[in-house]
Amino acid sequence: MTTTVHSFDTAIDLADNGIGHYIGQTTPEWANMVGPFGGVTAAAIIRAIERHRDRIGEPVALTVNYLAPVTDGSFDITVRAARTNRTNQHWTAEMTQEHGLTTTATAVFGVRRDAWSDTEATMPAAPDPETLTPTTLPVPVPWMRNYEMHYVDGGVPTEPAESTSSTTTLWTRQRPARALDFAALSALSDVFYPRVFLRRGRMLPAGTVSLTTYFHVDGAELAGHGTDYVLASAHAQRFARGYFDQTAQIWGRDATLLATSHQIVYYKD
């Protein structure tokens, strides 16, 4: 029986070259306009830490700083446990290529315990994804073809008309469908096109500078999600002097808040 490896797993496949040192390879399927999709870079870093023999617990937070474009070809990821406490562990990570350092990251892994829980945020109202027509994106960006996207609000602009809102909400999942894990959830945190495109009604040079993702579920909850759609919603708070922020939420269909993220984005208008 032949087993087909999902393109996402190929993109974040890492060879262990010693304790805390991993080697990966970019793939054309996950290319962005310049270099690979930032979400797949974040996913590769999470995967590297997950594979480290000294790792305890599961992802709680991840911050990725994009210093320079990742070029096509091989890359090295080095991870180090900066401190290990009783229930949490702090990591640093660096991605390098022949031309130097491209990405830095910090991560917190933790052992979760039963405790009082509540969700103050409210899941956006949205019709079921099956009732919405999937969007065929007009932009030739390879990585976007790897997601089914059913926009509820704030779809990719197709006409040069400015918007007063930066909010985008969509149902999405990987194409072909793949069970959700922490690496895939890391990538989903960056699944949105730049908010400035929506506000200005056209594509502009833009790129994420720093992305932080907070994970609100453990591995068992995530495994229960399976291959179902998630509802992803993002908006900006301010555009100023060439930078804007983005706040996002990733929800399960059962209204479980899976992750939240915050990023700062460079743009040129």
Q: What are the backbone dihedrals phi and psi of residue 201, each rounded to the nearest 5 degrees, phi first? A: 75, 20
Residue type, 120: E
Instruction: Determine the Cα–Cα distance for residues 57 and 64; give it in Å rounded to an integer.
Output: 20
Per-residue confidence (pLDDT) for residue 136, from 0 to 100: 74
Per-residue confidence (pLDDT) for residue 2, from 0 to 100: 57
| Helical (H) or strand (E) element with 192 | none
Digitized pLDDT (tens) for each residue of the chain, 269 residues in all: 557 899 999 999 999 998 999 999 999 999 998 899 999 999 999 999 999 999 999 999 999 999 999 999 999 999 999 999 999 999 999 999 999 999 999 999 999 999 999 999 999 999 999 999 998 766 679 999 999 999 999 999 888 899 999 999 999 999 999 999 999 999 999 999 999 999 999 999 999 999 999 999 999 999 999 999 999 999 999 999 999 999 999 999 999 999 999 999 999 98
Per-residue confidence (pLDDT) for residue 139, from 0 to 100: 66
CATH superfamily of 7-111+124-267: Acyl-CoA thioesterase, double hotdog domain (2.40.160.210)
Q: Which two tokens stand for residue 201?
A: 């009604």
Per-residue confidence (pLDDT) for residue 104, from 0 to 100: 98
| Helical (H) or strand (E) element with 245 | strand 243-252
My answer on whether omega of the bond before 69 falls inside 30° of 0, hence cis, is no
Per-residue confidence (pLDDT) for residue 265, from 0 to 100: 98
pTM: 0.96
Instruction: Determine the Cα–Cα distance for residues 72 and 16; give it in Å rounded to an integer.
Output: 20
Q: Are 232 and 249 in contact (CB under 8 A)?
A: yes
Q: What are the backbone dihedrals phi and psi of residue 226, each rounded to the nearest 5 degrees, phi first? A: 65, -135
Per-residue confidence (pLDDT) for residue 158, from 0 to 100: 85
Where along the chain do its domains lie?
Answer: 7-111+124-267
